[in-house]
Amino acid sequence: MTLQQLKYVIEVARSRSISKAAKQLFISQPSLSNALKELENELGMMLFLRTNKGIIITPEGSEFLGYARQVVEQMDLLENHYSTVSSSQHHFAVSTQHYAFAVSAFVRLLKNYNRDEYEFTLREVKTYEIIEDVKNFHSELGILYVNSFNKKVIYKFLREGGLSFHKLFVANPHIFISSSNPLAEKEFVTLDDLHPYPYLAYEQGDYNSFYFSEEILSTLSRPKNIRVTDRATLFNLLIGLNGYTISTGVISKKLNGENIISVPLQVDEQITVGYIAHKNMSLSPIASIYIDYLKESIDEELKQI
């Protein structure tokens, strides 16, 4: 088994086609097919099923792919860290729950990054995917929250992935609503106040457990529930349907304008937001700078609450 073969497997899985993968890898299709067959023979299992409609990854292949990505990405990290030749293009990726301050910090990072070439990635994804992204080196940092309800479960997954949680700030719960919502004039709201309004929450896919919910108080029963997958849709529905969601109260007026506001929610809960990273790995200089910008963005936006 070679590193090159692992790269072949990853590209075939991404392309779902041997011919397309061969073009991306700049090798002939027969050479790629032979390399895959040699690897499958060595492993004693099928990684892919070849069909008329393309490539299907077998269950064994899916598991192998996870390990292959980790090996290749760790090799890339080693090469980038110890290479004597300075690369002209720097890479950085962060996975996060749907927080405006994470976007604000990313904007600051790019505005102050004086390089001609770079490849940066900001992923707003599901809670479980944040942990997986960092564990598998798809992202160097992840941003999520813990509280008294989900902490044991989240920390369990972090331990299993060799990850650690670092606190950024603690917030009292707020609701996000449209500035035209009848609740907008209140100094604070109660759960009873929210009963007539549609509740919006981020969909968590296969891991739609209460523990992975991006919103606290996820176990409460509500008469009107809407699941969404992206922040723009959620904000549009807050405005269009007079809906609400529960979050930290930290919102960027620069990015989101004046149409969405936060109002304190009167409950006996707190939200601890932090970043996750690999326990035994030093952060890259870019990641450290991004964390500094995170703290600056958070401090600025907390003052507006």
Note whether 3-82 and 90-305 share their fold.
no
- pLDDT at position 282, please? 84
What tokens appear for 137 in the block? 């080196």
Strand order in the sheet with 90-96: 118-124, 90-96, 141-146, 271-278, 163-171
Distance, in Å, from the CA atom of 184 to the CA atom of 186, rounded to the nearest integer, reads: 6
Task: Name which of 3, 41, 35, 39 is nearest 21 in CA terms.
Answer: 35
Q: pTM of the predicted model, to two decimals?
A: 0.71
- pLDDT at position 231, please? 87
| DSSP letter for each residue of the chain | --HHHHHHHHHHHHHT-HHHHHHHHTS-HHHHHHHHHHHHHHHTS-SEEEETTEEEE-HHHHHHHHHHHHHHHHHHHHHHHH-SSPPSSEEEEEEESS-HHHHHHHHHHHHT---S-EEEEEEE--HHHHHHHHHTTS-SEEEEEE-TTTHHHHHHHHHHTTEEEEEEEEE--EEEEETTSGGGG-S-B-HHHHTTSPEEEE--GGG--GGG-SSSSTTS--SSEEEESSHHHHHHHHHHH--BEEE-S---HHHHTTSEEEEEB-SS--EEEEEEEETTSPPPHHHHHHHHHHHHHHHHHHTT-
- pLDDT at position 179, please? 92
Distance, in Å, from the CA atom of 90 to the CA atom of 81, rounded to the nearest integer, reads: 11
Residue-level pLDDT, tens digit, the chain, 305 residues: 888 888 888 888 888 888 888 887 778 888 888 888 999 999 999 998 888 777 888 888 888 888 888 888 788 777 766 665 445 557 889 999 999 999 999 999 998 877 777 789 999 999 999 999 999 888 999 999 999 999 999 999 999 999 999 999 999 999 999 999 999 999 999 999 999 999 999 999 887 788 999 999 999 999 999 999 998 899 999 999 999 999 998 877 666 667 899 999 999 999 999 999 998 888 888 899 999 999 999 988 777 66
Could you tell me whether strands 271-278 and 163-171 are parallel, antiparallel, or unpaired per DSSP bridges?
Answer: antiparallel
CATH architecture of 90-305: 3-Layer(aba) Sandwich (3.40)
Distance, in Å, from the CA atom of 56 to the CA atom of 43, rounded to the nearest integer, reads: 18
Backbone angles phi, psi at 98, to 5 degrees: -85, 75
Q: What are the residue ranges spanned by the domains of the chain?
A: 3-82, 90-305
Distance, in Å, from the CA atom of 62 to the CA atom of 8, rounded to the nearest integer, reads: 14
- pLDDT at position 81, please? 63
Distance, in Å, from the CA atom of 10 to the CA atom of 95, rounded to the nearest integer, reads: 21
Amino acid at 224: K
CATH ID of 3-82, from 3.30.70.100, 1.20.1250.20, 1.10.10.10, 2.102.10.10: 1.10.10.10
Task: Name which of 46, 66, 64 is nearest 56 in CA terms.
Answer: 46
